[in-house]
Structure 1
């Protein structure tokens, strides 16, 4: 009997697409065609202003009577986002607070009338602007590209323009100079900001605290009273994120300790009765940095990246975030296919390498519990690992290993000291080592030695530095509590950047992308892999769907324990692989169909010719469509076990500009007429669709860029269709 036909229109998405094309620049939407949007820095001599602009966002800095941002405009919506003038930065030097630039005398804080600027005054106690220069953007650190894992080349640094303002200190401070740096990028509604401080005096100065950015924004909504938590961040047209990030929340907002949306005490005419509207952005470390800068020395702050949104739609905002990370941390687009081998014994590693090479996997990681020890300095051990790395390289496979950093105790002398108790314990993971301890300094020396002497090319650094402070005054790397977080962050970020310069791939389950890491967890619960296999298939697709709103497919890994893991017995276990081949294929199809790599953890990838053929089939599928599968995901329907689910990869820069994956969890085949949102493929009139069986179909697109398509999905199976141009594009 023919399966029932159900018209399941993704109409909510289709309707929203009409809102996804706000004010355009010559007919272009930057998420479809960013090429018209070029960064520029101009001066307005009559107004005494410098203007950073790229057709998407504009930041205006007035230079007299002192430097201050007087406009921050969303050029896509026409919105003026700034309501009040603040200092360009604030410093606490040797216990005294100073503004860097800024203007005073604004009569009311609800809005900023440009006519008021002529009457506003410089702060006489502040650092005052003394000069400025412009130039191209510069790389934050070196990146050795691994082109075999990049489906599309990515420029580094992101092209754009840079501005530096120089400020002189007040007379009481002496010859201390501050440079405030800005970058604006081509085709991206992002402005970056950071500062450097140079001590040209004859004695040390201590930077106790620093605020890199303070912007008083127009509130996105007004609430009369109640908790600040009632305000909705998703309504803001502005997101800020920073490379000063750590933690395992696996989202840019959860792991952003330097980004603070707070109330504005100057804004006494706001609607909220307790004056608690979170409409003031402050970008500062929660503690410190408490850095002593020697004569001739230079301090460089963390960086803030400011992303302007043109919509409150979740998909469009997520796409903007993903595009920003592709540009600002382009190494996240490296997406090697990898395996976790359970044993680091030479025979086991070679067997895993041979199987990976046979089916097209590109990387082997000697996993946790394998016996791999990156801290082992014995020459014979390093020589053994080097021989294995050389063997893997001869097969076209990169070898590396796992190392646990935090969430373990070393000893009372080297663990972080709780400032509340003066003892160990109370860290984010209970007990953790301090990176500024003697052990911590030795840890990084040993890891550098391991990679230099073995030639390994991947590090999985579990339990990375989570932001713990340390009250010890005996550790060689830091002086006490106030500088402990800054020093530890600098150590871990510096190490990751050292790896990035050498092409060492980094799996780090924390938000260190902007400091050089490649991939973190997509977001899953390990105990779920003890559930029955059929349930794992659904939950895996839920994890992928949920994890790709703000991450690209290549930014997150999933997990496929091939042997029993966290319990569950035979019902949860894939081994023997040949006995559970349909389930194994479902997992491969879920992951490769999403462009998401997983840690396939076990002794082998296949145990029969049939199993090998299935693994090779999905690896070949991914490699054939690698560029589009590595591209951003449009979310169609979340898996719920009740009907079809799926997603659509889009990339208007590719000939194959879309690829949709559809999954059927039901025990019978289904047929659905779906409304496919193709706006972000860049197609406008027609699309050509090639189905899994090779058949071709021409689709007519509606005004919203969507088209209806009939999809047949086998029982407990999946299907896909590829999209290419059938007419003109944006």
Structure 2
């Protein structure tokens, strides 16, 4: 049966006690019946439950999709990580719950010994596993509910999602095994959430000793996973197939996609796995989650260190679309502010007359936000009261028109001076940072910069921070910067300062555009993925590239998580052939850009001095913005990847959402200069439609279509030269 006991064991060691006896579940290996329906089509009926075994030796988190069993006798260790949808057991061996290096000495947290074969974990072996007395020892357990790691102030349109996500929280506390650590308490935190196949985990270290200790290294998640494939011969790392697991974290940066930003998680060989097929024991089957550097944090007496958080997504299929849908569902659950998706313009000048004219145009056509773009002349670091008052007057004007306002600031990829720049550990001098030169966020200049930016946002009433060059992970060897001690803790402390900025913005309802993956600490949107110089190509080529970029960017991002870019004036060359201005003279291309982005549920940075230059142009923009708002819910729903733009045949956008009345919306694009007639197949399985469906075409004509047993339907489509059409399924 479910248990709810005291919330937390973040106590000094002298006060730490074990949890009282908890009601027992039916048994440790009872498998709930699998979901009757596909979890991606219908809400999961099961809620997350925290239970214990009848003999008190195990606790289990399960939500009807996945299950994690944790042994707590004779010490703590995860002994099962199961997919209840497919029946797959992910775990093949027991590992420590965490690994720490404290004051230069490595320690395991929990873990059990004696497994005879690390290729699989037989149920009958588990009761016989023994304790490792040199590890941190189990000291208590507590249950509760998830608490929000940051506040979300809702001030604009977003999906109606709960925050924090409902689920269960489990804390398992451990005491140090020796004299040096007997008053150090390590608490391993687990969470699981309703309706998503995610096992969350992080570690806290509480220093109950009378002296400072240094947390040199911290592995917060370590899973010995069943290998995805076996190979005898030596392989390069990229040649291996890894298990069907993705990892999200609040420690994701220096990357605008999941794979690039997720460097904290790595698949590594397990040399202790002596029975694997790989002759050199190189199968990547050990999932390790840790900071790339450090943390190197000095922990004063009575203080607590909190590690990065990991969110392990267990997939029920290797199929790319299904895995992508799962990742996108998890993003919406763990970072629901990413569903905020305002229609925005980037105005090129901060001059009041230019800015206010652009505001008036935004209000006229239904845009929701205007941003002082890069190169506009706005100076967010300017703290002059008169300057701030002038900007605030313009912001207030925009607010009076119903338009929110954002501003651009550059942090990284700039040089300040030798005293404040990142110091290269290899040379002891500035230079050699990820973007060449960069200030250290922990320098005096960096700390002052954070204060200036938050002050400017607060005093002007701005609604968005466009933060270019967010902290990318530069390691700084300076020992003079007040924000970190030296090289060892520089990455961790700069990351913490970045987290503080973005969380502050989220708590104040300030939208955050950042070309990085700080989503789980408050960021809203990153680039969908494009090459800026492509906007100097001829207009027809820009349109093809844009649809390719959106197709590629939405495998693991929702439409609202990535921005596109449409320069209305010449950008990086290309001349008249590449430029939309004068807008009225290139209205078909301008309209197609609107359809490209709004039809994908993706917001573009419409960068220029104006949105229209004639009444006809204004009406086109207003019509498509209105269309987007009329179908906003389905357009911001998941994209199914049907056919990527190739300039040779029609390409397709397909949005699906089984929870809506509008179940699917498809847009068909013709890149050719002639009318085409095609029968195009739409895979509507993930829309939840079955057997028959009603559809309505863009011209208002309605029809009923049959779906095959796999949810596919074939539609005859006629497309005008370099044109498009769309249809809506209900």
Task: Assess same fold via TM > 0.5.
Answer: yes
Q: Tell me the equivalent position of 2:44.
A: 35
Cα distance, 1:460 vs structure 2: 0.4
Distance 2:385 2:341 in 1: 32
Cα distance, 1:710 vs structure 2: 1.7
Matched, 1:329 2:338: no
Comparing 194-203 with 357-366, greater Cα deviation is found at 194-203
Cα distance, 1:24 vs structure 2: 8.6
Q: Tell me the equivalent position of 1:167.
A: 174
- Asked whether the 8 Å contact 2:35–2:65 carries over to 1, the reply is no
- Asked whether the 8 Å contact 2:35–2:44 carries over to 1, the reply is no
Q: Tell me the equivalent position of 2:473.
A: 467
* Aligned counterpart in structure 1 of residue 369 of structure 2, from 323, 339, 363: 363
Cα distance, 1:47 vs structure 2: 6.5
Q: Tell me the equivalent position of 2:282.
A: 276
Matched, 1:114 2:123: yes
Q: Tell me the equivalent position of 2:550.
A: 544
Distance 1:356 1:439 in 2: 36
Cα distance, 1:307 vs structure 2: 0.2
Q: Tell me the equivalent position of 1:634.
A: 640
SS state at 1:73 partner = strand
Q: Tell me the equivalent position of 2:90.
A: 81
Distance 1:232 1:634 in 2: 27
- Asked whether the 8 Å contact 1:223–1:231 carries over to 2, the reply is no
Q: Tell me the equivalent position of 1:181.
A: 189
Q: Tell me the equivalent position of 2:436.
A: 430
Distance 2:555 2:293 in 1: 31
- Asked whether the 8 Å contact 2:75–2:137 carries over to 1, the reply is yes
Matched, 1:206 2:206: no
- Asked whether the 8 Å contact 1:460–1:508 carries over to 2, the reply is yes
Summarize deviations over 1:71-104 as a string: whole Å, max 9, x none: 1111111111111101100111111111111101
Q: Structure 1 unaligned runs (5+)? A: 1-22, 725-730
Distance 1:449 1:42 in 2: 47
- Asked whether the 8 Å contact 1:89–1:101 carries over to 2, the reply is yes
Comparing 114-123 with 327-336, greater Cα deviation is found at 114-123
- Asked whether the 8 Å contact 2:44–2:64 carries over to 1, the reply is no
Q: Tell me the equivalent position of 1:566.
A: 572
Distance 2:582 2:537 in 1: 17
Matched, 1:687 2:693: yes
Cα distance, 1:25 vs structure 2: 3.8
Q: What is the number of residues matched between the two proteins?
A: 698
- Asked whether the 8 Å contact 1:578–1:611 carries over to 2, the reply is yes
- Asked whether the 8 Å contact 1:228–1:277 carries over to 2, the reply is no
* Aligned counterpart in structure 2 of residue 613 of structure 1, from 616, 619, 622: 619
Cα distance, 1:568 vs structure 2: 0.5
Q: Tell me the equivalent position of 1:238.
A: 245
Q: Tell me the equivalent position of 2:461.
A: 455
Distance 2:535 2:403 in 1: 27
Q: Tell me the equivalent position of 2:136.
A: 127
Cα distance, 1:232 vs structure 2: 4.2
**Structure 1 residues 26, 127: CA separation in 2 closer, same or farther (over 3 Å shift)?**
closer
What are the within-5 Å matches in structure 2 for residues 203-602 of structure 1? Answer: 203-233=211-241, 236-247=243-254, 249-602=255-608
Comparing 97-106 with 481-490, greater Cα deviation is found at 97-106
- Asked whether the 8 Å contact 1:28–1:36 carries over to 2, the reply is no
Q: CA RMSD in A?
A: 1.2
- Asked whether the 8 Å contact 1:228–1:278 carries over to 2, the reply is no
- Asked whether the 8 Å contact 2:50–2:61 carries over to 1, the reply is yes
Matched, 1:645 2:651: yes
Comparing 39-48 with 655-664, greater Cα deviation is found at 39-48
SS state at 2:470 partner = coil
SS state at 1:607 partner = coil
Cα distance, 1:230 vs structure 2: 4.2
Distance 1:463 1:506 in 2: 13
Distance 2:571 2:692 in 1: 48
Cα distance, 1:116 vs structure 2: 1.7
Segments ≥4 residues shifted beyond 6 Å = none
Summarize deviations over 1:377-408 as a string: whole Å, max 9, x none: 00011101111111111111011210001011
SS state at 1:637 partner = coil
Matched, 1:194 2:202: yes
* Aligned counterpart in structure 1 of residue 664 of structure 2, from 658, 664, 675: 658
Larger relative CO (CA 8 A, sep 6+): 1 or 2?
1
Cα distance, 1:46 vs structure 2: 2.9
